[in-house]
Structure 1
Amino acid sequence: MKRLAKWRLISLFAILALVLSGCSGERFVSALRPAGEVADMQYDLMKLSTFVMVGVIVVVMIIFIIIFFRFRRKDESIPKQVEGSHKLEIIWTVIPILLLLILAVPTVATTFHLADVSPMEKKNSKVLTINVRSHLYWWDFEYPGQKLVTSQELVVPTNEKVYFNLKSMDIKHSFWIPAVGGKLDTNTDNINKFWLEFDDKRANEAGNLFYGKCAELCGPSHALMDFKVKAISRDKFDAWVTAMQGIKEPQKAQGDLAVQGQELFNQSCIGCHAVTSENKMPETARTAPNLTNFGDRSRVAGILDHNKEKLKEWISNPETYKPGNLMTGKYPKMSDQQLDALAEYLMGLKVQE
């Protein structure tokens, strides 16, 4: 019975490992499916360390098996003692040193390469720099060179380095796009800097959409602090920037229901949410996501399907979907007609057809 129980437990773990190995494969959220230069380098380091560790285990097991069978005790005689063998001591001292060098040299070289953000710090630099600001539980993305601000969905060009300034506006979070590289903490008292590069071919395979997460435990909705990354060609990125720069004033609602929604938005929501891409408010005053291009997004609140029904559910009771969020209780309860009107207006906030 004990043996049967052990085999059941082993079978359970084997099935669990098989199931978990298939998680997130289609959505490009795995660090084991690299989609950029940084992710490639980190993946190569993971493979190198894994090969070294597996190699050590294999060699040790082979030596163990040989010794187990070859030097089994057959009589009462005492085997030859090898204490103080200079040859053996040199071998088991030199081999770990060599293994450490094999791991340390590429790791240190890669670390210094990934830490090089000098291009973004040069005067009149032309590289794309994005200021990432983390909040409970959403993300703010500012493009200072383009004078744009957006939220929850990061838009970047492919096949070029994109530089990031990371900071938190409340508590410690961590910016991570598993398939492309990272992660790096966002702190309240300093700005962390790094760069990523998004591979065009693998972006196309992923439908030009990657998934980012907060990788630092930050509260009850930590696991729901997601954001999306649209990786598109430079031409399409420039077109997106041009379209966004054209939204200097709130877009006019189309249709009677949307007009009612805009009036409701101006009464209840505009104190926290901006609907212009430039968003001249200082970053410390940005208490809620920018909604300029809300209709173009792929998720509501970063986690729900992007449709009117889910949007109305989110507005009705955000605490149900993101416990501890700062939107709960900021506006009066709305009727079904008000929710329909507000959803109609918000889903119409689009900058590109």
Structure 2
Amino acid sequence: MWACIFHVKRRARAELPPQVRYNLPIEIFYTLVPLVMVSVFFFFTARDSRDLEHLSANPDVKVKVEAFQWSWRFTTTTNGKTLPQVVGQPVSDYHQGPQLVLPVGKKVQFELESPDVIHSFWVPAFLFKRDVIPGIPANNKGRYFEITTLNKPGVYAGRCAELCGVDHSRMLFSVKLVPQAEYDQYVSAQAGSPQ
């Protein structure tokens, strides 16, 4: 009450501070800068998405990845030969899980499938992750992706990156990248083994 009564006169005499409303140059600046930024981001996103989603007509290796609660099943097709499935169980170390063997320097196309819940195929070293969503038809492009940058031999950890249930944290696997000669030996050995 004190402030209302004794400062009314002072408030009435005070001049209004300078107003920044209706400052046309600032309004144009605040409109154009975000518009330019969004346009640039959109251009690079569209360009990179197109490159990431490109699929070759004839990849060197095709891998069908089936994610299920709580492990992985890999079926590899190379040079017209389908290798025996690699099936895993929930594990606490990716070295103990199923291992996918691939050649270095080749185009590898992955087909993702899930019979139960949403999973996510993620190998951090590949710098790529894709969700595995149940019910997506085989002709849907979102079920496939291709990697052409597998150039360094080694064993790489993989995991499910989508919370999918009780043993989600144990849904681990590994990808072993080997030189072509070693991969050919692996294919020969697997082709002779029973499925």
TM-score bin (small chain) = 0.7 to 0.9
Instruction: Tell whether 2:34 aligns with 1:102.
Output: no
Instruction: Tell whether 2:175 aligns with 1:239.
Output: no
Query: Which residue of structure 2 lines up, in the alignment, with residue 91 of structure 1?
Result: 29
Measured in 1, the distance between the counterparts of 2:150 and 2:112 equals 22
Query: Which residue of structure 2 lines up, in the alignment, with residue 115 of structure 1?
Result: 53
Write the deviation string for residues 279-321 of structure 1: whole angstroms up to 9, x where unpaired: 2xxxxxxxxxxxxxxxxxxxxxxxxxxxxxxxxxxxxxxxxxx
Say if 2:59 and 2:108, in contact at 8 Å, map to a contact too.
no
Say if 1:141 and 1:154, in contact at 8 Å, map to a contact too.
yes
Secondary structure of 1:132's aligned partner: strand
Indicate the RMSD between aligned Cα atoms, in angstroms.
1.8
Of the three residues 197, 207, 219, the one matched with 2:148 is 197
Say if 2:73 and 2:86, in contact at 8 Å, map to a contact too.
yes
Say if 1:129 and 1:162, in contact at 8 Å, map to a contact too.
yes
Measured in 1, the distance between the counterparts of 2:129 and 2:59 equals 25
Query: Which residue of structure 1 lines up, in the alignment, with residue 82 of structure 2?
Result: 147
Measured in 2, the distance between the counterparts of 1:160 and 1:147 equals 17
Aligned AA (2:25) = K
| Structure with the higher fraction of residues in helix conformation | 1
Say if 1:198 and 1:231, in contact at 8 Å, map to a contact too.
no
| Structure with the higher fraction of residues in strand conformation | 2
How far the C-alpha of 1:234 sits from its partner, in A, is: 2.0
Of the three residues 160, 165, 168, the one matched with 1:219 is 165
The aligned length equals 164
Write the deviation string for residues 59-102 of structure 1: whole angstroms up to 9, x where unpaired: xxxxxxxxxxxxxxxxx654322211111110001111111122
How far the C-alpha of 1:214 sits from its partner, in A, is: 0.7
The equivalences for 1:1-353 within 5 A come to 77-117=15-55, 119=56, 122=57, 125=58, 127-144=60-77, 145-148=80-83, 149-151=85-87, 152-190=98-136, 191=138, 192-200=143-151, 203-204=152-153, 208-247=154-193, 276=194, 279=195
How far the C-alpha of 1:215 sits from its partner, in A, is: 1.3
Q: Structure 2 length normalisation: TM-score?
A: 0.77
Percent of paired sites with the same residue: 29
Measured in 2, the distance between the counterparts of 1:170 and 1:79 equals 64
Measured in 1, the distance between the counterparts of 2:37 and 2:179 equals 41
Say if 1:180 and 1:197, in contact at 8 Å, map to a contact too.
no
How far the C-alpha of 1:232 sits from its partner, in A, is: 1.4
How far the C-alpha of 1:175 sits from its partner, in A, is: 0.8
Provide structure 2 residue ranges, at least 5 long, that are not aligned to the other structure. 1-13, 88-97
Say if 2:59 and 2:109, in contact at 8 Å, map to a contact too.
no
Write the deviation string for residues 149-194 of structure 1: whole angstroms up to 9, x where unpaired: 2231111112222101100132221111112033212233124100
Say if 1:131 and 1:165, in contact at 8 Å, map to a contact too.
yes
Aligned AA (1:140) = R
Say if 1:157 and 1:237, in contact at 8 Å, map to a contact too.
yes
- Tell me: CA distance 1:198–1:237, structure 2 relative to 1, closer, same or farther (3 Å): farther
Say if 1:181 and 1:196, in contact at 8 Å, map to a contact too.
no
Q: Structure 1 length normalisation: TM-score?
A: 0.44
